[in-house]
């Protein structure tokens, strides 16, 4: 079984431990730069872990309907283990509707939803990638994961005696109209486990369901589905990119960016046309305004190397403006700020904070843009700008066109 493991938020925990491991003496290795220190827990330490497990299990029991208490067996719930380990371990299959992870970029429709759920639980994520749905689901069944993120068929999940919750909570059209798989689901070992029940309440809450539908719009997969768009994109990359690739790569190194991200930005801005000019006066491959060009040290906006360098430097500044945003979302904040200015994005963040909403989540910022685009055209432009670049970047990296 081929498996690649990705860690989110620096989680140091491994696969889920069996309860028996908590009740007997064990050794834990602590890795430092050059030394490995072995320590054996004291009896009081083991007692503290066991006590914590009992407390978490009690919380899990209280979260269940009263009638289910009589049918509970003695097996520790997945929810209790997640809370004890402070880590939600996900078995996932890469895909355009689940998650995307290449060259330091880790995001995706299903992945962003899982991150939001983990944040609500107050735990980290340990993402394990599997080659196919069956392998991921078997990992869940064997206890190597707490839940699975897949597009597996109902038949396969039934054969493995697993239960699942569709992330759209039955509103499949909200996914299909955005080119996403209609059956993206979270799968669990038991429908009675609090982890599964809480997930169902989480996904089907009316407010969160609306946000899920907006997130689906951000991860729209239809941008390059029609023949004209595909042909134009491929022709541009084939005929124009070779002339500028070395400049993209060098300027990306200069400003610590992924060079293909800069290419995606260049395609969005000008379709890699170094002589492009807009009616508003922005010019060049990265379509810099005259003021931005001067601030970035660009003397000739139609010089490809200077234009790419100016765009790369400005993007670096935008990333620095949002250094407190988790890395997974920071690039989207930076791109939105690149398009509409950092103060506009920070204004949205302040409004979200005032409502008690996490202002460092791109999903929440995007939802705000979607809700208010009718009253502010800049919001709609920023939405399309960031989602288009995301789509181009994924296409370049996965070579789907």
* Tokens representing residue 143 in the block: 């206890």
Q: Any residues with CB less than 8 A from the CB of 309 and at least 6 apart, and which?
A: 247, 251, 254, 255, 296, 297, 298
Alpha-carbon gap, residue 285 to 271, rounded angstroms: 8
Give buried/exposed letters for 367-376 (b at 16+ CB in 10 A, else e). Answer: bbbbeebeee
Using CA atoms of 143, 147, 150, 156 in order, give the dihedral in degrees to the nearest 10: 50
* Tokens representing residue 142 in the block: 């064997």
Alpha-carbon gap, residue 114 to 99, rounded angstroms: 10
Residue whose token pair is 């396969």: 156
Q: With contact defined as beta carbons under 8 Å apart, do 114 and 152 qualify?
A: no
Please confirm, yes or no, whether 260 is among the known catalytic residues.
no
| Active-site residue, from 260, 269, 321, 394 | 269
Residues with a catalytic annotation lie at 269
């Amino acid at each position: 079984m081929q498996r690649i493991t990705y860690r989110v938020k620096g989680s140091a925990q491994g696969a889920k431990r069996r309860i028996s491991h908590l009740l007997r003496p064990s050794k834990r290795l602590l890795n430092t730069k050059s030394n490995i220190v072995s320590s054996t827990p004291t009896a009081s330490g083991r007692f503290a872990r066991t006590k914590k497990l009992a407390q978490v299990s009690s919380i899990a029991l209280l979260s269940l309907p009263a009638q289910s208490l009589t049918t509970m067996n003695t097996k520790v719930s997945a929810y209790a283990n997640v809370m004890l380990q402070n880590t939600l371990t996900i078995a996932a299959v890469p895909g355009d509707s689940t998650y995307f992870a290449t060259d330091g970029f880790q995001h995706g429709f299903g992945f962003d939803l899982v991150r939001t759920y983990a944040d609500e639980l107050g735990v980290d994520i340990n993402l394990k990638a599997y080659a196919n749905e069956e392998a991921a689901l078997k990992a869940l069944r064997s206890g190597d994961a707490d839940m699975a993120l897949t597009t597996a068929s109902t038949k396969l999940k039934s054969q493995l005696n697993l239960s699942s919750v569709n992330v759209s909570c039955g509103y499949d059209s909200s996914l299909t109209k955005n080119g996403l798989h209609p059956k993206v689901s979270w799968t669990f070992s038991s429908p009675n486990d609090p982890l599964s029940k809480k997930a169902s309440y989480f996904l089907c809450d009316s407010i969160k369901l609306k946000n899920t539908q907006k997130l689906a719009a951000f991860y729209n997969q239809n941008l390059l589905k029609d023949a004209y768009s595909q042909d134009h994109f491929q022709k541009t990359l084939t005929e124009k990119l070779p002339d500028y690739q070395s400049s993209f790569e060098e300027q990306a190194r200069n400003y610590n960016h992924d060079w293909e991200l800069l290419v995606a930005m260049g395609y969005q801005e000008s379709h890699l046309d170094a002589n492009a000019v807009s009616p508003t006066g922005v010019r060049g491959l990265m379509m810099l305004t005259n003021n931005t060009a001067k601030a970035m040290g660009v003397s000739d906006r139609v010089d490809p190397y200077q234009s790419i360098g100016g765009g790369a430097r400005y993007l670096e500044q935008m990333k620095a403006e949002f250094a407190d945003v988790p890395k997974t979302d920071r690039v989207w904040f930076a791109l939105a700020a690149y398009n509409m200015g950092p103060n506009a994005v920070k204004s949205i963040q302040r409004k979200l904070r005032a409502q008690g909403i996490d202002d460092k989540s791109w999903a929440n910022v995007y939802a705000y843009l979607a809700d208010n685009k009718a009253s502010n055209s800049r919001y709609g432009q920023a939405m399309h700008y960031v989602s288009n670049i995301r789509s181009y970047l994924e296409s370049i990296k996965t070579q789907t066109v």
